[in-house]
Each structure stands twice: as structure tokens, then as C-alpha cells.
Amino acid sequence: MSLVITPAMLGQVIVSGLLAGSLYAMVALGLGLIFGVMRVLNVAHGPLLMLGAYVTFWLFSTVGLNPYLSLLVSMPLLYLLGVLLQRFLVYRVVDAPELSSLLVTFGVSIAIVNLAQLAFTSDLRAVEYLTGAFVLGPIAFSKSRVIACAIAVAITAAAFLFLQKTRLGKAIRAVSQSREVAQVCGINVGRVHAIAFGLASALAAAGGSLVAVMVAIQPEMGQVYTFKSFLVIVLGGAGNYPGALLGGLLLGLIEQLSSLFLTTQVNEAVAYVLLVVVLLVRPTGLLGGRAS
């Protein structure tokens, strides 16, 4: 039986892909920021996102706080946690081989997941706040995904403006380009590292808070976002911040387009195949990045 793709189906897939991709881009920007500034591969990025989701769930279920307003709590909390992690653990592997950073952050991710299981058990949790869809002609827009996309785009734009326009953002980019030159120019590299890790953790927290309204929450949910974030920065170019945006949107579109032709099980393998292909054909990513 042949599959007939109508313009409405294609439009629906593109819209769904862009909505999902905007969230991927925001989360992956944090991972790219850490790699760009410190050359650290942070496997704990997904578990930090999971913590953001649980903060939102806890605030919603205990005090009834609007899950979107919980961003004002989850992002500062995870920023602080990120700074502490960098100050007490990650700084030890900044100049070490990348395998060392993988092992340290893997240990951190295991600890975070186990603590979450201890606190919340492995039961699925849900933030039942927003359901339904906006309908425009033949295309339906999930309300929670539209709002998540709008917030993700706003946060991503704010992060780019921060990196481009502020003194601290320029210091972060300077350290990313050459740590030695930045140090000679009087930039406190250790402080920049801590701030960058904190910002990346805050971006992960924002992703978790937005995801909490869309899917069920459980302690191991972050693993898939860690992988997708790595794929996004590989697609766009490791350490290339605009590349993270491009990579996120591309991943969202590819996932949705492949879902038209493939079964669910095969579709889940598409991301893995894509990662291998990109690493073989263009290891520096579409927009170029640091040689890894």
C-alpha cells in the first residue's frame, strides 16, 4: 500500500518539526556552551533537564504554581546547582582529556538520577495543565507545544543577545575562542567557566519545565535529551552557537518527516543513523566547529 502525502500532512509535519526543534535548540545551546568554553562533554545535561521538570511538577502539585511561571524558580535553582557542580567537580577536568570529563559528568548524572528516584520513585508523573490544540485550516497546533516553542525561542534569543551584546557574554566568547588570550586580557577564566556552566544548567532547567507540561516525567527521562543535544551540536558544529539553533531545527524536522514513512521502532533509530552519518561525512558540523 503506497502512502499518499498531501500538502496538509506535509504542513503538519513541518509545523510539528519546528515546534520540537526549537526546544531541542534551546537545550542543546547549553551543552554547546559548556563544550565551547571548557571543552567538557557534559553527560549530565539531560539529568539536569529532568531536575527542572521535577521542580515544575513539585511546585505545580504542592502550591499550584503555573508551570510556565515555575521557570522563574527552576532556572535560578539549576543555575546555582550548575555553578556548584563546576566549582567543586567539573573544574578538575577542564584541562584533562575529554574522556575524564565524560567519566565525571557520567558519575554526576548517575547520582542525580538515583537521587530523583529516591525522592520521587520511578513512577510516571504528569503536570496536567494544558491540553488541546489550536486549529488553523487543516493544521493543528498543540497548545502546550506552541507555548513551549514561543518560550524556547524567547529564551534562546535572550541567550544569543547576552552572548553578543553584554560584557560578560563577550568574555564568555573570548574564553571560548582562546582561554590564554582572554586570561592575558584580564578575564577571570575560572569565573567565566562557572557562569557558563550555570547558564547551561539554567537552559536545561527551562527545557525540563517546558517538557513537563507535554510528556510524563520520570527520573531517567533526561537520557534521551542528552543524546539529542549531542546530536544537535554535532549537526550544527560543536562550539558553534548558531549551529545549535540550526541543528535543533533540523533534528526536529528530520524526526517528524521520518515518522511519515517509518514505524515507531525504526523511526527511533533515525537519530542514531544520522549521528553516524554526520560524524563520517562532516565531523565539524554543518556550520563548522571546533575540531573534536
What integer best gives the mean pLDDT of the chain?
87
Task: Give pLDDT, residue 255.
Answer: 85
- Region 91-95: mean pLDDT is 84
Question: Inter-axis angle of helices 189-212 and 71-88, to 10 degrees?
Answer: 140
Q: How far is CA 74 from CA 59, 153, 171, in A?
A: 10, 18, 25
Task: Give pLDDT, residue 291.
Answer: 43
Dist. CA 285–CA 163, nearest whole Å: 21
Task: Give pLDDT, residue 189.
Answer: 92
Say if residue 104's pLDDT is above 80: yes
**For residue 155, what is its C-alpha cell?**
529564551
- Region 86-100: mean pLDDT is 85
Task: Give pLDDT, residue 292.
Answer: 40
- Per-residue pLDDT reduced to its tens digit, 210-261: 999 999 999 999 988 998 888 888 888 776 778 888 888 888 888 888 877 7
The model scores a pTM over 0.85:
yes
Stated as kind and residue range, the H or E segment containing 227 is: helix 222-236
User: Do residues 176 and 239 touch, judged by C-beta distance below 8 A?
Assistant: yes
Dist. CA 2–CA 162, nearest whole Å: 49
Dist. CA 103–CA 113, nearest whole Å: 15
Higher pLDDT, 139 or 229: 229
Stated as kind and residue range, the H or E segment containing 282 is: none
pLDDT > 90: what percent of the chain?
Answer: 46
Task: Give pLDDT, residue 128.
Answer: 86
- Region 13-32: mean pLDDT is 90
Task: Give pLDDT, residue 241.
Answer: 77
Closest-CA residue to 208 (of 42, 52, 16, 47): 52
**For residue 135, what is its C-alpha cell?**
486549529
Phi-psi region of 121 (alpha: psi -120 to 50; beta: other; left: phi over 0): left
> Residue 40 corresponds to which amino acid?
V
**For residue 201, what is its C-alpha cell?**
544548567
Triad 167, 182, 97: Cα angle to 5° = 120
- Region 40-48: mean pLDDT is 92
Task: Give pLDDT, residue 289.
Answer: 57
Task: Give pLDDT, residue 1.
Answer: 52
Highest mean pLDDT among 8-17, 71-80, 227-236, 283-292: 71-80
